[in-house]
Structure 1
Amino acid sequence: MASGSKKPKQISTNSEETSCSNQSDSCHVSNSSEGSSPSKDVSFFSTPESDTDIKRRKPNSIEQSSSQVNSDTGNYSKVPHNLSDWEKKHIENLNIKVSYRPDISPLQLINRTIQKTGLQIFEVRRLDPDEEEKKIVSLVKYVQQSKFMEMLSKINYLTFRDLSRKSLKGLDMYADDRYQCSFIPDELPESLKLWFYRFHTHGKMFAHILHKMVENMEEGIQNYQCHFQHLFETFTKMFGMFSFVSLMPCIEVQKMNIMDTEVYGAPDILYSCHCWKPPVDNEMKKSRIVAICEVKKEVPLFKEHQISLSPGSKTREKSRKRLSTEEISSSSVSCSTTVKKDFPSMSDKLIGQHGGQMLLNYQQSNRCDLIIGLVVQETKVTFTALEMTDHQYQRIKEGKIIHSEKNRPTFTFTKAYDFLKVEDLENIIEPFIRLGLEQHRAV
């Protein structure tokens, strides 16, 4: 049963614009889903009803329930036009499996496939044996030895709102050039100095922005979403990831037709590289997405998740230690195969919005059958991946969705990692270094 939908309202992104011109930090545009109301442009296919029920319904009411897809006719449940109205159920209605994996590391998530060559990571390593891998190992090692890690180790807090200038314990020394505190490690090889000059420059700016945001809290000044976006962008620049927001303050709204529904929205941050093409194509270069990022002011939710643990397995033991900063009791590990644990996660609304963004930008990914994403909630970052084939993508666009099939596209995301905590940062240093190098690599 399809209900007639109104014409879509003026296009807006999945966020609200917030002006921060009075703040000391430079913030032009803020994207936030806070306060967004469900779009009235949405119509769903519902479960069958009687004629009497249909007559009782008001003409302008919105169907809230989703229906199962009829695999014979290829019908699908309509999705909202604006991505800000998407939720987890809309992703699942498109036959995309949502998989929360707190047991998988960010490195494992991004290391599965790379550039559009379709080569697996291990195949590329055989072709180019050690050059880049040795560089990455060295970069990780020297970042861990830098005073940046020393600075973060002195910060003692539970949540961002607990921070105070007193709790920062000398962060101003790192933020202020007068103290001449360098983030460039001692005895650094000449070949890595250029990389670490950038790491140092943006690291000092990161310390300055963080110090200013904490100062704002103490003085009762609100930190807007654009402040958290600015903080994260500066952080990723340390590792060579650039969004070029200063050159493109307004990211272009992406559009995609799913059957007769036009879906639109824009991410908060895009990390892209350029693919050079032959002159015959008239277009000399084409942008390819390395990672797509969503920034929210909201904090992650904590969800209970079951983890399979095999006593005596060294691999499982290593995974267990990597899962979280919270401890899992040794008795649980030794006498059971499943442990229930709360991990920071995303809300259903954020899963829908970010998953929809990745679907809209899927064809621009620099990877084969995979697009990588990042979700930032305050100072916590979650790594995401949408994996599907081009054939599955086309079927979603055409509405030819079969829920009974076993081979489905999958939206996977890790637990959230706080980039202000050393124990979490150690898990994300290498992934960010790899994404930074990937962004500057010709495809």
Structure 2
Amino acid sequence: MSQSEPSTLIKNARIVNEGSIVEGDLRIEGQRIAAIANELSAGVHEDIIDAAGCWLLPGFIDDQVHFREPGLTYKGSIATESRAAVAGGITSFMEMPNVDPATTSIEALESKFDLAAQRSMGNYSFYLGATEDNLDQIKRMNPKRHCGVKVFMGASTGDLLVENPNALEAIFREAPSLIVTHCESGPVMAANRDRILETKDQLTINDHPVLRDTAACYASSEYAVGLAKKHGSQLHVLHITTAKELELFAPGPIENKSITAEACVHHLWFTADDYDRLGNLIKCNPAIKYQSDRDAIIEALKSGRIDIIATDHAPHTLDEKEQPYSNAPAGLPLVQHALLTLLDHVNAGRMSPALVVEKTAHAPAKRYNISERGFIREGYFADLVMVDPGAAHRVTADNIRYKCGWSPYTGHTFTASIKSTWVNGARVFDGNEIIESARSPMAMVFDR
């Protein structure tokens, strides 16, 4: 370590990593984890932090966020939402292409990397959006830099909706990178809409899981999985919401899988019973469904049929959400509270701390082949989050960090609190404030 390189010693931590919880110390030198041991002696001029028995986790790697930049920054931006993310223990994110204009060219994709370098608080990568006629752009992707290509199969608008079978065949055959899909069948949803409106004049929020039902999700997910098997593609199906879809995915460890699946934190938390209370605030696509679906997805996390947990953070203004159901946009802000929701599951006995770390850090790092992140290992980048599992955190209007200013969890008291977050060795959140002077994000590198 050079004399100018900062050093931090975290003492008395309960390190949750690779299936176990070990009490010990951890030293950060510069951007990386320099040492992990039962006990480490403090060096001269070393910053010492007493974890006092708090859990130390590898930072949450969120493989699905919508930060709304460019073009929709009245809802959120890379600057605002990445700061909310690190306050929630998310140290790296992968951002989606449905901005304005949509990210459907390599030039537009690279411009987002430039924005993030200037404004982000966390590490970053970005997806290229597939269209029915941009195969030339998809083939230009750099698999070591660009996290993947996003295909909206029947659940988007404009150029990002890809339904043409020939276009889908070409994407699954030619994509040089991981393909991630939003799977809902447009024809099934259209038939559902017609059936619902036979008995009423207009749709309401309680119709949302009926409109976007199991049949709509399964038909599209099955199609995507079939295409991936046919072409030998690397496929990751996002935000699974139904018990039936789980049969499409193999149980077991993520290693060597070419077809994987993800669950999102709100689908692990809310059910259709919450629509009466929260209305459009929890309107999202795919829809939040039923308790039986939620319980099946939690069990699938344990069996390995679901490989990764993400957020699908998608902020909208309250004015937008307060419109009638058919006009209200889908999506909700989640990054600040995502890890806390999972720690509530741990407290309730539905998950273990090791499972949370596996699904939010280890598995994303493995699936995306992220270089030197996602684990607490000597020599790896020091992307870390310290949580106090016994210090309650109540969500109020005053402590929400999203630009949109609201959360579906307002009024809820989580059982745990985020005490500190480190990104590339720099402490960027101290449990109360974002430390702007510590901003040191990097574009993630993929070993593929």
More strand by share: 2
More helix by share: 1
Same fold at TM > 0.5: no
Q: TM-score, normalised by structure 2?
A: 0.29
Q: TM-score, normalised by structure 1?
A: 0.29
